[in-house]
Amino acid sequence: MQLEKYTIDQHNEGLSASHKRKLSALTSDIANAEAILERLVAFQVAIPSWALGTGGTRFARFAGGGEPRSLEEKIEDIALLHKLNRSSGAISLHIPWDIPKNGAAIKVLAAQHGIRFDAMNSNTFQDQPGQPLSYKFGSMQHVDKAVRRQAVEHNIEVIEHGMALGSESLTVWLSDGSCFPGQLNFRKAFENTLESLQEVYSALPDAWKMFVEYKAFEPNFYSTTVGDWGQSLLYATKLGPKAYTLVDLGHHLPNANIEQIVALLLMEGKLGGFHFNDSKYGDDDLTVGSIKPYQLFLIFNELVEGMDARGMNHTTDLGWMIDASHNVKDPLEDLLQSVEAIMITYAQALLVDRAALQAAQQNNDVVRAQEALQNAFRTDVRPLVAEARLRAGGALDPLQIFRKENVREHLVKQRGLKTIATGL
């Protein structure tokens, strides 16, 4: 479905007076509002190809209708999001769920919508039809070298697909691990995994990065072979300068101090990618910022501080992606909410009075340090985020326009009620 520019202009016109009023009230108190706006306009978050269909749990999946039936339709959906918020200008593909039949044509289609290809994602956590060897007992850690080779070859194939699309990074998330004590020799599992990753690493083109994603548990429940940031960093360090750790918000044990993890990884120059979602218990795939917005803010605060300390470009020097899809919301509305939550939190992190915070830290003034953070967190920066969208050509209120234009109803009419997007 195409949203015409005049529809967005009309919508913006209608909200203009109220927007201007809120914006001027906010910016009169902010010294660096223009600098923050510039950063917000530049910031882009990749949408994963599997988040455009309704997510499910291991119990059920309740499809919502009008889901994209092909990679082309997935790109159209992201184009729609990007048209509304101007911050979703990248797609992250999952292979083999979204193998491009014609890489060059897909690249052109995406470019027409201002969308580029972010990290490629491999999949050795499930068996595909016709696959000769099973990943039931792991892939890169497997005791059988032939299974490991199959996993390596799959990853190299994913790199080749990515090269055709102009992607420059590979995310490897392994479900490898064990469900019961004694099932695995931990050291041998690590060594096998490292050797397999080294083979993939040696196939990486020069400009590429490899992201080693960790996860504390699930689907394995006793041990995970890339289980935490320490293990990921160990692999990334042994692999070499093109390998980095990837932090996914949902992949930690409860109450992990994720902000400290990102601070130290940035200090070591080893944070490469970041996956957004939210959770109450584990890898719940809930909308970004829906459960723990303050934690997200504290993490963003460290991301901004740590990236600035290394002179990194906020937009391009880390791979930013949403990694969530739940089963009770319209996936497109969920993604609009997610991107909005990310932009709000990023703006709040940019708002932190760094000089005041540093002075408080230096003087052991715990109270002022907390005030410096919470002053920013408790500021309603939504008018600033809306202004950035407006300047970039997007909508002041993307969700409102999505509902008013009956986007989902149009998609159901176009694609049908019983369509199912590829994915889990």
Q: Identify the CA nearest to 53 among candidates 42, 34, 69, 40.
A: 69
Q: What is the secondary structure of 86-140 as a DSSP string?
A: S---EEE-BTTTT--SSHHHHHHHHHHTT-EE--EE---SSPPTT-SS--TT-ST
Please state the closest distance from residue 125 (CB atom) to Mn ion, in A: 12
Q: β-strand 177-178 against 223-224: which pairing, if any?
A: antiparallel
Please state the closest distance from residue 211 (CB atom) to Mn ion, in A: 9
Distance between CA atoms of residues 229 and 253, nearest Å: 11
Minimum CB distance to Mn ion smaller for 135 or for 276: 276
Minimum CB distance to Mn ion smaller for 85 or for 171: 171
Distance between CA atoms of residues 69 and 412, nearest Å: 11
Distance between CA atoms of residues 248 and 127, nearest Å: 24
Please state the closest distance from residue 212 (CB atom) to Mn ion, in A: 12
Please state the closest distance from residue 173 (CB atom) to Mn ion, in A: 6
Please state the closest distance from residue 197 (CB atom) to Mn ion, in A: 17
Minimum CB distance to Mn ion smaller for 12 or for 287: 287
Minimum CB distance to Mn ion smaller for 12 or for 139: 139
Please state the closest distance from residue 215 (CB atom) to Mn ion, in A: 8
b/e map 392-411, b = 16+ CB within 10 Å: bebbbbbeebbeebebbeeb
The widest CA-to-CA distance across the chain, in whole angstroms, is 66
Please state the closest distance from residue 146 (CB atom) to Mn ion, in A: 28
Q: Identify the CA nearest to 126 among candidates 170, 176, 201.
A: 176
Q: Give the tokens for residue 82.
A: 């990007």
Distance between CA atoms of residues 6 and 156, nearest Å: 45
Contacts to Mn ion by CB under 5 A:
248, 275, 323
Minimum CB distance to Mn ion smaller for 248 or for 340: 248
Minimum CB distance to Mn ion smaller for 33 or for 233: 233
The residue with tokens 């500021």 is: 379
Minimum CB distance to Mn ion smaller for 58 or for 187: 58
